[in-house]
Amino acid sequence: MRLRPAEPPGLRALLHDVAAAPDTPAPRPDLGPCARRPPRPLVQVLLCEDQEVFRLGLRAIFESQPDIAVVAETADLMEVDAVADGPGTRVVVVRQSLVGSATLPLLRDLCQRGVGVLVLAESGGGGRAGLMDVLQCGVRGFLPRRSAAQRLVDAVRALARQEPVLDAAVTRQLVRHLTGEVPSQTMVARALDRLTERQREVAELVAQGLSNEEIAGRLFLSSATVKSHLTAVMRRLDVRTRTQLAILVNREDAPAA
């Protein structure tokens, strides 16, 4: 008769317990309070930028952040009111050249509703509205348009928390204005200084009474190019007619009394 080797004590009971145990997941380790902290609420951003490449760049910068979402885009500040009227918009990012006298009340209304506004300043002060005009509307975000990506991200987050974000140069100008070191009118660049050299040439020839065809012949440009420059000039200077443009140019060029 062959003898089976004896089982170690308790082995049968152990196998029985394993087979009978319910199929339950292993307990998850406690990772501490940080793991249980709820995610930060999304900062919803509305972009107002008429240059597609720059607008796409801004969207890529903001949407690379886990707590920021771009909810809408527009190329006209007048359209922002209807878009931002929906729930959730907390910060509007707008190019300075899209801000004019007609849109300042819109900015004031947005700020009064608790929406943060970040104005991206043109290099050379190419905006149609001056710094003080914008700040007096309640805008608390003013940075150079070509600020570093992280600077823009930090600015949007700060504005969502109702914290001001002003460029150092803007702060210095504001301090000088409030302390009376410079007259307030010097805070805004002369209108023609907001134009490129070619745009200024077209504006000055319009002020002399020349037609588009005559300007084209004088500057060796096509009529279509002149028309394009003129459209840009009138938009940047916030005028609607050639007569208004001529008055503005002549006033700017007039010698001081």
Q: Where in the chain is the domain with CATH 3.40.50.2300?
A: 43-179
Strand partners, 47: 73, 93
The mean pLDDT value for 21-31 works out to 47
**Relative orientation angle of helices 223-236 and 197-207, to the nearest 10 degrees:** 90
| Residue 118 pLDDT level (bands cut at 50, 70, 90) | very high
Fold of domain 185-251? Arc Repressor Mutant, subunit A (1.10.10)
Q: 135 CB contacts (<8 Å, ≥6 apart)?
A: 142, 174
pLDDT of residue 157: 94
Give the pair of three-digit tokens for residue 34.
Answer: 């940080």
Percent of residues, the chain, with pLDDT higher than 90: 25
Cβ(131)–Cβ(184) below 8 Å: no
- Convert 207-219 to b/e letters by CB count within 10 Å (16 or more is b): beebebeebbeeb
4, two tokens = 């089976």
**Any bridge partners for residue 53, and if so which?**
none
Q: Where in the chain is the domain with CATH 1.10.10.10?
A: 185-251
pLDDT band at 85 (very low <50, low <70, confident <90, very high): low
User: What's the pLDDT band for 59 if we cut at 50, 70, 90?
Assistant: very high
Instruction: Look at the block and give the residue holding tokens 């500057």.
Output: 219
Homologous superfamily of the 43-179 domain (CATH): Response regulator (3.40.50.2300)
Q: How confident is the model at residue 185 (pLDDT cuts 50, 70, 90)?
A: very low
24 Ramachandran zone, left/alpha/beta (phi>0; psi -120 to 50):
beta
pLDDT at 131: 75
Residue 180 — left, alpha, or beta (φ > 0 → left; ψ -120 to 50 → alpha)? left
pTM (predicted TM-score): 0.55
Amino acid sitting at position 204: E
Strand partners for 48: 74, 94
Predicted pLDDT at 38? 45
